Structure 1
Amino acid sequence: MAIRLFKKTAFSFTYQKYMIQVSDEITNMVLSYVKMRANGRTLEKAVDVGCGTGRYTLPLAPHFKKVLGLDISDSQISVAKQMSIAKNVSYMVAEAENLPLKDASVDLVHAGVATHWFTIDKFLKEAVRVLKMGGCFATHAFELSSEIEYKNLSDDLNEVMSKVWDTLIQQVDIPADKAFSRYQNVFEAIPLKDKEHITDIPSKIQLSVPEMVGFIQSIVMFQQLKEKDVTRAERLLTHTEKRFREILGEEADSARMNVHMKHFCVLACKH
């Protein structure tokens, strides 16, 4: 199971270093939703479930008195603690299906790029249990595809990256309805009436060739491929970097490619 890979220290550092940056669009969407539903109420506590190295945990810190990051991987939590600079943020090793929190004690249950790894019904039951009345639930992830934009070379660059995605998608070891439904299954399973499912949320990041190669390594499916066939995995990286450099030519060391991603998000409120 892929979850085991998140417990490896080397992968935790790779994930922290190279995984695509936090989406401001998603963060702002979640915070706007929570504050609107709070209707002026002080936001006391948020919990970030499956927090990994804390990439989505820290942006919550300025908006809540306390933020707790939870993850099943002690190596991810260890990296998160090293990266944490917010005094009101703490971390703990815990399962998403068994949250170490009291009933009705949390203003926001958040899970970024993580819910597809959980036993969804059990996680949602726990999320609803710990939410206060008027508290919110938010989960989101990005689609397993991208579109590269760089001068008149976009088509060639996208052809290379498309082959990478095709290879990585073959490694997906969770059911298709969880991996490719854009969380429609999560939306339908939420036992709350006040809920929204938003798809095709655009974001744009800029990556150099080394950063793009690093991003590939930070994707858990690549790590699964590496476990199965290290030669094939290394060949994929080497070939991809070589093709990017061939296409970019003299600009290979200086180019900052625009990489367009699409995110999806599920929001809900407990009444």
Structure 2
Amino acid sequence: MASRLFEEQEHAALYQKYRLPSPSQIHNLVLDYLQRKKGKPFSLAVDIGCGSGQSTRGLASYFERVIGIDVSRAQIEEARKVDGPENVSYRQGLAEELEFEDGSVDLMFKTLAPYMSERCHVVRNKYEEIFDAITFPDKERVDNIHFKRQASVSWVKGFFESLSYYQTFRKKDPERAKASIERMEQSFLQTVGVTPSDAVLEVKRTAFCLLASKPE
């Protein structure tokens, strides 16, 4: 069932500004798997829960068409504001109600993050529950994909402000939410010992990739 976490335009705009596309390591794993299971040409990719289109646009150079689908109208509007490849389009819709003919889609792509606290265990368990729930016999998983990037403290602050649980906190208690994000910023600055203008951090993340191929 879809979670409606990005209904407000302001929140969707923050998501567009501070969220990153899927890393190249993930794309390489997915494309290698697709090549082994199907081979070229790669005609159609569908990005489920595409948000504001960061990862959707990242698939454009590998497929003839890429369609991003998200339940949030605000997210789709933000995605359409970005000048992108002509072979990318966006639709508002539900993952449970896709209107594609059987066998017409080469890749169903989905990124997953612990937006809601009661679901964080899914990520902590390295997607084991999701992997076990996949009924296709041909499936693989890749663990502990590490990547890093340089980011300013102000970007890290904006990233946290774009998180749905921060936005929920902000709605319930704006003053405490603002104070918490400011304390976090000051803690980062004190740790690295620099002023805000030149404060740069090395941000490290770990991902897990689940791959499955529908039987013909």
TM-score normalised over the length of structure 2: 0.91
Residue deviations 1:85-121 (CA, integer Å, cap 9, x gap): 11111111110111121122100011113xxxxxxxx
Secondary structure of residue in 2 paired with 1:7: coil
- Structure 2 residue aligned with 1:210, among 137, 147, 154? 154
Give 1:70-85 correspondences, 5 Å limit.
Answer: 70-85=69-84
Q: Is 1:227–2:145 an aligned residue pair?
A: no
What is the alpha-carbon distance in structure 1 between the residues aligned to residue 50 and residue 83 of structure 2?
Answer: 12
Q: What is aligned with 1:52?
A: 51
Secondary structure of residue in 1 paired with 2:15: helix
Give 1:134-173 correspondences, 5 Å limit.
Answer: 141=113, 172-173=117-118
What is the alpha-carbon distance in structure 1 between the residues aligned to residue 194 and residue 126 of structure 2?
Answer: 38
Secondary structure of residue in 2 paired with 1:86: coil
Q: What is aligned with 2:190?
A: 246
Deviation at 1:251, TM superposition (A): 4.6
What is the alpha-carbon distance in structure 2 between the residues aligned to residue 72 and residue 105 of structure 1?
Answer: 22
Structure 1 contact 2–224 (Cα < 8 Å) conserved: no
Letter aligned with residue 189 of structure 2:
R
Q: What is aligned with 2:10?
A: 10
What is the alpha-carbon distance in structure 2 between the residues aligned to residue 225 and residue 180 of structure 1?
Answer: 22
Unaligned runs of 5+ in 1: 114-140, 145-168
Q: What is aligned with 2:61?
A: 62
Letter aligned with residue 29 of structure 1:
L
- Change in Cα spacing, 1:178 to 1:230, as seen in structure 2 (3 Å) is same
Q: Is 1:191–2:135 an aligned residue pair?
A: yes
Q: What is aligned with 2:103?
A: 104
- Identity fraction in percent: 35
Query: Is the deviation greater in 219-228 or in 201-210?
Result: 219-228
Unaligned runs of 5+ in 2: none
Structure 1 contact 177–185 (Cα < 8 Å) conserved: no
Structure 1 contact 58–84 (Cα < 8 Å) conserved: no
Give 1:3-42 correspondences, 5 Å limit.
Answer: 3-39=3-39, 41-42=40-41
Residue deviations 1:15-62 (CA, integer Å, cap 9, x gap): 1111244312112211221122223x3111111110010111011111
What is the alpha-carbon distance in structure 1 between the residues aligned to residue 26 and residue 93 of structure 2?
Answer: 24
Query: Is the deviation greater in 85-94 or in 215-224?
Result: 215-224
Count matched residues: 215
Deviation at 1:2, TM superposition (A): 9.5
> Aligned Cα RMSD in Å?
2.1
- Structure 1 residue aligned with 2:181, among 237, 244, 258? 237
Structure 2 contact 21–55 (Cα < 8 Å) conserved: no
TM-score normalised over the length of structure 1: 0.73
